[in-house]
Structure 1
Amino acid sequence: MKTKITYLLFVLISSFSFVFGQENTTAFEAANKAYNDGNFPEAITQYKAILKTGKHSAAIYYNLGNAYYKSNEIGSSIYYFEKALQLSPNDEDIINNLAFAKNMTIDAIEPLPKTQLSKFVNRITNTFTYNQWAWMAIIFGFLCVISFLLYQFSYETLKKRIYFLISFIAFLFILGSVAIAYQQYGKAQADRPAIVFAKETAVKAEPNLRSDEVFVLHEGTKVQVLDTVDNWKKIQLIDGKIGWIIAEDVNEL
């Protein structure tokens, strides 16, 4: 399993000095030293001390994930790798180490099958964030206005047709971009991923201990939180199964 701790120690330390301040830089150095010495509990304590100051980075979460993995705490390891991935979604080291950690989990849950059309639509809509789609709508808006003005002030028939066509196409792209941005925003607002931290936990049909057990989950499984009632969370798996789990058994990302 790749660790990249030594790399982070020498390459990122200067950025820590600038962004996080001398105190957090010292804690980061101490955490890296503890990790390299094999003192993983101390490394975890030091990394978490930095997080408590309100300073967050993919590097800290990544190193925490590695430290927990070395400590054989798979749930915590996956949790912090997922946190790192939220801040740096294209980092290959994070993706690879998260895959290693997930291979250590017990639950093998297959996602619901998707149609080719659904996969194609998802590829298109997930290309950009909702903010980026909104900016694209603005850009297409400018293009639409400029093309329409050129259409109005052009005297040649061919040019008028071209400008009108460009304006019309840009208008369609505006509608599409706004629709996708709105859909992506709603999806982001509803997204509440969480990681199971309990070694084993029973998922109930209702939010109480007397209800029937519908299935069992184990440490490290990723779920989607749908609702919260008292000390219970309603969760959904990627295969569509739904149930209620004790809130303390999962940590939301």
Structure 2
Amino acid sequence: MKQFFYIFFLLMNLGSFAQGQNAFELANEAYADENYEKAINAYQGILEEGLVSSELYYNLGNAYFKKQDLANAIYHYEKALQINPGDSDVIENLNIAKTQTIDKIEEVPTSKIDKFFQSVTGWFSLQSWAWISIAFSLIFGLFLVLYFKSISSKSKRTFFGISLLSFILAIASFSFANFQLSETQDENFAIVFENQVEVRAEPNPKSEVDFELNKGTKVELGSNFRDFQQVILADGTKGWLKSNTIKKL
């Protein structure tokens, strides 16, 4: 009976995946026919089913970009990069979309170490780095066993060298996975979805307006108070705006 339920559950998942694939293909066809509104609705329907992928967010971002909805385009490109940070197509389209936004904010320079980690971790997704770490750990364990069982000194040196290299690579890939995970968890961002949003010095509607933000601008989130949200710009500037003017990533 238990095996029957396992098989039934597997078939249900396969059916959902097949339906999702079919819906994704239909959405892509609508996009190819330049029916962007239909494509957007189809992609959103897939998301509502709980089927998420970098490709889905990327295509949805492209559809919004074609409709000149920069805020939604940038939002979904950013969502795609959360899943696959190293996707060059997403990065390229995101940069193109950003050039068309009103706000031009210079980012605070990052350290060489952070740049190195961001560059390397972008090669693979978080899940891929985790699997790579597990694979090297298994190789390390296998060759360590062969090292202890080997009689020949030459074989011992070879097995020890491979196991040591595998151990180092396992630690390195685990570190990259952990760095990518901490980046995702620690940094809370949002996209501005309205033009000429007033950013105030304090979370008070009577407070002085320091500057304005426009659609498509990415902000880091700080603390919140009532219906106000503190935001931090890429150049380090801080301020408070109404929470309903942004959409959290």
Q: Same fold (TM over 0.5)?
A: yes
Query: Residue 127 and residue 87 in structure 1: after superposition, are their counterparts in 2 closer, same or farther (change >3 A)?
Result: closer
Instruction: Give the gaps of 5 or more residues in structure 2.
Output: 1-17
How far residue 152 of structure 1 moved from its aligned partner, in angstroms, is 0.8
2:59 maps to what in 1?
A: 59
1:203 maps to what in 2?
A: 199
Preserved contact between residue 84 and residue 125 of structure 2 (Cα < 8 Å): no
For the aligned residues, what is the CA RMSD?
3.5
Preserved contact between residue 65 and residue 80 of structure 1 (Cα < 8 Å): no
Equivalent position SS for 2:63: helix
Structure 2 residue 133 is matched with structure 1 residue 130? no
Counterpart amino acid of residue 119 in structure 1: K
Structure 2 residue 98 is matched with structure 1 residue 102? yes
Q: TM-score, normalised by structure 2?
A: 0.71
Counterpart amino acid of residue 128 in structure 1: F
TM-superposition CA deviations, 1:91-142 (whole Å, max 9, x none)? 64x6555444322222211111134343223222332222222212211111
Query: Residue 122 and residue 60 in structure 1: after superposition, are their counterparts in 2 closer, same or farther (change >3 A)?
Result: closer
Preserved contact between residue 234 and residue 242 of structure 1 (Cα < 8 Å): yes
Counterpart amino acid of residue 192 in structure 2: V
Counterpart amino acid of residue 202 in structure 1: E
For 2:91 and 2:160, locate their aligned partners in 1 and report how far apart those are by CA, in whole Å: 46
How far residue 84 of structure 1 moved from its aligned partner, in angstroms, is 5.9
For 1:206 and 1:117, locate their aligned partners in 2 and report how far apart those are by CA, in whole Å: 35
Equivalent position SS for 2:177: helix
User: Percent of counterpart pairs with the same letter?
Assistant: 29
For 1:221 and 1:244, locate their aligned partners in 2 and report how far apart those are by CA, in whole Å: 15
Query: Residue 126 and residue 49 in structure 1: after superposition, are their counterparts in 2 closer, same or farther (change >3 A)?
Result: closer
Preserved contact between residue 59 and residue 84 of structure 1 (Cα < 8 Å): no
Equivalent position SS for 1:175: helix
For 1:82 and 1:168, locate their aligned partners in 2 and report how far apart those are by CA, in whole Å: 38
Counterpart amino acid of residue 22 in structure 2: V
Structure 2 residue 16 is matched with structure 1 residue 20? no
Counterpart amino acid of residue 62 in structure 2: Y
For 2:218 and 2:196, locate their aligned partners in 1 and report how far apart those are by CA, in whole Å: 13
How many pairs align?
Answer: 223
Q: TM-score, normalised by structure 1?
A: 0.70
